[in-house]
Amino acid sequence: MIYLDFNRTTPLAPSVLEAMQPYWSTHYMLPGQEHAHAHAVGEALEGARESIAAMAGCESFEIVFTSGGTEANNLAILGLLGAAEPGHVLVSQLEHESVLGPLSGLPRRDPRWTIETIPCAPSGIISPLKVEAMLRADTRLVCLQGANAIVGTIQPVREVADRCHNRGICVHCDATQMFGKVPVDVKHLRADTVAISGHKFYGPKGSGAIYVRRGLQLDPITFGEPREMGLRPGAENIPGCIGLGAAASLAERYCVEANDQLAELRDHFVDHLSEQLPTPPLVLCEASPRLPNTVALELPGDARRIHDSARELALATAQAHSPPDEFTRSLRAIGRSDSQIGRTLRVSLGWTTSNEQVERAASLIAEAFDS
């Protein structure tokens, strides 16, 4: 298999697995127990929190462990808005379902909530000026992802956050696609809350975190014996948290180096494929700031034929079902028609992707359109 779907999920890094191993059966106690072994587990948990904070550019007390990016997005949105006076929320067209879902439920609970969508330009970029023009006196929150999983565009989060903060409005950023691919400094982003997902950067599935700006008050959305600054109940997922911390250390150490290598591989893949197709593929949002590992290409025919003709490739195309998946929604947001979406594939590379793999993938894709 040639795996080219790293934006969907990544393999667990060997060093991450090694770091997690003792916490399954040897160091199995919980930090709150009254024993020296439990205290050692608690110290390891705080060490993992510090590693995530170092990766994100914040203080360790601003990091709250979650079960992944989905919970982080839900906690940020509902935790911020749960006790707020009902009003207006802005959300970009490009957001993940775990951002759109909790927002869509607000008007059903209280019709005084208004959810408004920020349109996206064909470039794949949300305009800060457009956001500013859409702000209202009763706007409670603006949701803008850090980078799009499908076309790879990197959003101007800081510029949007500055405009919102000038009006006293909070900003939530789903940055799950950024960590491990580009350096992230949450203080530079200036979002009030930022979602992190471990399995997007070689950590374990079921692990994640949320950055909560110093002094910001969130309400819990689940209840039980309080953990994590009172925001999450229940026993800590110690192996998952340790794994997330180990993955964060890797991301902080190798991200800049990997950034350049991934961009070179991505461009080499596009060049190699263009040489083999009678009509070069269209690179979507090519002129915009993009993740170095991600490219969305419009091909001369139905992209789904690749799944039939080149079964050793793992990559992303639109799913033929309703409601539309993130792939389809993102491409519609930048103005692509359904027929164009059907001809589009998304390739996302990873730290383990080789030059030989991208060349082989390009050849297999070209052969699929020759058959």
In angstroms, the CA 215 to CA 208 distance is 21
* DSSP state string for 58-109: S-GGGEEEESSHHHHHHHHHHHHHTTSPS-EEEEETT--HHHHHHHHHHHHH
Name the phi and psi angles at 114, rounded to 5. -125, 125
Peptide bond into 233 cis (omega under 30): no
Write the CA distances from 75 to 165, 166, 174, 241, integer angstroms.
20, 24, 12, 17
pLDDT of residue 4: 97
The domains of the chain, with CATH numbers, are: 2-8+255-370 (3.90.1150.10), 14-250 (3.40.640.10)
pLDDT of residue 371: 61
pLDDT of residue 2: 96
Q: If the chain, 371 residues long, is cut into consecutive pieces of 10 residues, what is the mean pLDDT of each piece?
A: 97 98 92 87 96 98 98 97 93 97 95 97 98 98 98 98 97 98 96 98 98 95 88 94 98 91 97 93 97 96 82 87 87 95 96 96 89 61
Those residues whose C-beta lies under 8 Å from the C-beta of residue 158, and which sit 6 or more positions away, are 188, 189, 190
Helix (H) and strand (E) counts for the chain? 13, 15
In angstroms, the CA 256 to CA 261 distance is 9
pLDDT of residue 7: 98
Q: Which candidate, 308, 330, 327, 326, places its Cα nearest to that of 317?
A: 327
Tell me how far the alpha carbon of residue 268 is from its chain's centroid.
25
pLDDT of residue 303: 85
Tell me how far the alpha carbon of residue 115 is from its chain's centroid.
22
User: Which residue's entry shows tokens 């940020």?
Assistant: 76
pLDDT of residue 50: 98
Those residues whose C-beta lies under 8 Å from the C-beta of residue 323, and which sit 6 or more positions away, are none
Residue type, 326: E
pLDDT of residue 257: 87
pLDDT of residue 300: 87
pLDDT of residue 320: 66
Element (H, E) at 362: helix 355-370
